[in-house]
Amino acid sequence: MTPTLSDYLAKRALLGTYGVGLFSGGQWDMLGILIPLFAVFIGLGPSEIGLVVAARSILPVVFSIHGGVLMDRFGTRHVAFWLALATATLPLLYPVSSIFGTIFLLQLFTGLNSTLAMASGQTLINQISAGDPTQLGRFSFVTRFGNFAGPVLIGFVWQNWGTWPAFLFIAGWGLLTLSSVVLIPKPSKNSKPDINLKEEKTFAILDLLPRWTDYRDAIMLACIPAVTFSLVITMLRNGPGAIQASFFVVYLSGIDISGTTIGFLTGLSELSVGLGSLAAGWFAARGKAHWLVIIFVGSAVFFICLTPIVASTFTLLTVATVARGFSQGVNQPLIYSILSRSVDAAQQGAAVGLRNTVNRLSNILIPAFMGYAAEWWGIEASFAIIALLLIGGCFVIAWVIWWKRVFPA
């Protein structure tokens, strides 16, 4: 059968969406490696490093819902274009910032932009896949190549060439995000049924301002039990990622593991996430998604918090890294699927924004908490403390689900 124009547009939309997810997520992880190393390089203390890492999640807590609503209202591709443009420019400001205050401010705005850029990719694939776990798993798998390559490359560039080349590399990576957005066809009344994306609308400056009604409508989604579960488990699920982007790097750097090796381990973890994502459909066909999510979130927390115990043996550290990544990979598409199928198609952006709000809230709380715990009791103890809190949270969620019968038997 000869491919039609509709088939061609749909493939372009899917390929571009994969690119947005791959490059925007890869940039987030590269900054997660580079900023702690840069902070150590300029002499910031543990609590300052924790606050700097946490800073990139502060504005997303407030504006992720608003960003998702803008995607629903004006078209995801339209909003993604401007976000991608910023990903190629903001990293260039870091090398001229060498004090805590300026880096903290940069982290605020870079964190918001990067979060919304990733959210645009998640919203695009939710719209295209209609919540199918297999398609969502494939998206997660493809995007993990960026999460794998990005940290490895940025660790190598930092180790060998230093500050400016590293941040220039990240800015160039942002241009690839922009190119991916441009690849996606502009939706229209004729193409909308074919690529399942919202038709783009023009907007004025006033349209960009947050509205209370938008927040109210998005927050009301949390009244849906499955959405509530997705939000709460997302906070716990993001714990390992927040640790990896902060005190995982700091701890390994402190025991003289090179930036290149740290980048390799982070990239290996993300590659393992991709493999886990491919397996998500297999697990979903053989078990209840909510129980699988809880099990694999708890496993991911356990393996990342083993770091101080296994770090002295590279083989064990590598095994723990792979196991953590695989666990994260399985649970992510399942959470996306539960959330996507629980809300109306017209509110997919708002739902992703709501999820990212709690996601970034945990990115604030966990690094900041670990920073102060490390100063008070030592960095090794901070891993144990956070493990007890997050795994304990998984047990509480499991008990509530069983007691309240949140999901059908």
pLDDT given at position 60: 80
Q: Is the pLDDT of residue 130 over 80?
A: no
Mean pLDDT, residues 163-192: 84
Tokens 């987030």 belong to 28
Q: Distance (Å, rounded) from C-alpha 146 to C-alpha 65?
A: 25
Please, are residues 117 and 124 in contact by the beta-carbon 8 Å criterion? no
Higher pLDDT: 263 or 400? It is: 400
Q: Which amino acid is at 250?
A: V
Task: Express each pLDDT in 223-265 by its tens digit.
Answer: 788 888 888 898 899 888 888 877 888 888 888 888 778 878 8
Mean pLDDT, residues 141-156: 81
Q: Is the pLDDT of residue 192 over 50?
A: no
Q: How confident is the model at residue 127 (pLDDT cuts 50, 70, 90)?
A: confident
Q: How confident is the model at residue 176 (pLDDT cuts 50, 70, 90)?
A: very high
Task: Express each pLDDT in 357-371 by its tens digit.
Answer: 887 788 778 888 888
Please, are residues 285 and 226 in contact by the beta-carbon 8 Å criterion? no
Domain ranges of the chain: 5-186+221-404
pLDDT given at position 2: 44
Both ends of the chain: CA-CA distance in Å? 43
Q: Distance (Å, rounded) from C-alpha 10 to C-alpha 94?
A: 38
For the full predicted model, state whether its pTM sits above 0.75: no
Of the candidates 149, 19, 173, 147, the residue with the CA atom closest to the CA atom of residue 90? 173
Those residues whose C-beta lies under 8 Å from the C-beta of residue 241, and which sit 6 or more positions away, are 328, 363
Q: Distance (Å, rounded) from C-alpha 136 to C-alpha 329?
A: 11
3-state secondary structure the chain: CCCCHHHHHHHHHHHHHHHHHHHHHHHHHHHHHHHHHHHHHCCCCHHHHHHHHHHCCHHHHHHHHHHHHHHHHHCHHHHHHHHHHHHCCHHHHHHHCCCHHHHHHHHHHHHHHHHHHHHHHHHHHHHHHCCCHHHHHHHHHHHHHHHHHHHHHHHHHHHHHCHHHHHHHHHHHHHHHHHHHHHCCCCCCCCHHHHCCCCCCCCCHHHHCCCHHHHHHHHHHHHCHHHHHHHHHHHHHHHHHHHHCCHHHHHHHHCCCCHHHHHHHHHHHHHHHHHHHHHHHHHHCCCCHHHHHHHHHHHHHHHHCCHHHHCCCHHHHHHHHHHHHHHHHHHHHHHHHHHHCCCCHHHHHHHHHHHHHHHHHHHHHHHHHHHHHHHHHCHHHHHHHHHHHHHHHHHHHHHHHHHHCCCCC
Q: Distance (Å, rounded) from C-alpha 211 to C-alpha 209?
A: 7
Q: How confident is the model at residue 1 (pLDDT cuts 50, 70, 90)?
A: very low
pLDDT given at position 200: 53
Number of Cβ within 10 Å of residue 409's Cβ equals: 4
Average pLDDT of the chain, as a whole number: 83
Rg value, the chain, Cα? 20
Q: How confident is the model at residue 202 (pLDDT cuts 50, 70, 90)?
A: low
Q: How far is CA 2 from the centre of its chain?
A: 38
Q: How confident is the model at residue 194 (pLDDT cuts 50, 70, 90)?
A: very low
pLDDT given at position 243: 87
pLDDT given at position 110: 92
Q: Which amino acid is at 165?
A: P
Those residues whose C-beta lies under 8 Å from the C-beta of residue 151, and which sit 6 or more positions away, are 29, 30, 32, 33, 262, 263, 264, 266, 267, 270
pLDDT given at position 303: 95
Q: Is the pLDDT of residue 4 over 60?
A: no
Q: Above pLDDT 90, what percent of the chain? A: 23
- Architecture in CATH for domain 5-186+221-404: Up-down Bundle (1.20)
Mean pLDDT, residues 347-352: 75
Mean pLDDT, residues 336-348: 75
Task: Express each pLDDT in 276-292 by its tens digit.
Answer: 888 888 888 888 888 99
Task: Express each pLDDT in 101-116 by its tens digit.
Answer: 899 999 999 999 998 9
Please, are residues 111 and 58 in contact by the beta-carbon 8 Å criterion? yes
Most confident of 17-26, 268-277, 321-330: 321-330
